[in-house]
Structure 1
Amino acid sequence: MGAHDWGPVVVSVVLFILLSPGLLFQIPARTRVIEFGSMSTSGIAILVHAILYFCIITILLIAVGIHIHSD
């Protein structure tokens, strides 16, 4: 077996956890534009966070080219 690239896996998991709506922050919130640690979510917030996730992961994996190799 050759070396495996763990960069996309690590970046995806970390971003998925950090960008979960309501965990650290939520855009848009129910009463404001942004709320921190509300632990609640809505459909539009899920859509906004999914778009943020896609944009950030695309920048990190394709433009920056993060790679973590293991033998």
Structure 2
Amino acid sequence: MTESNAPGRPSGPLNPQALRLEDMARLLSAAGPKAVTMEMLQADIAAGAPSNVDGTMNLVHYVAWLLKEAGRGD
């Protein structure tokens, strides 16, 4: 998959390796029981969640980070 979800990208399928925060929030909100906001994602990034150099997020890396954090028991 070579498409990018960076700002200004052409319309088309989403790239789970490079989701804009808006797309990530919308996807996670639709898939889960609770709404996810861009602010929540930004807070997670500030707390150490992985993000790409261009500010996008990799869905699989983010979910792995969430699972690791959940396992810490904090």
Please, what TM-score do these two structures have when normalized by structure 2? 0.29
Whichever structure has more strand as a proportion of its residues is 1
Rg larger in structure: 1
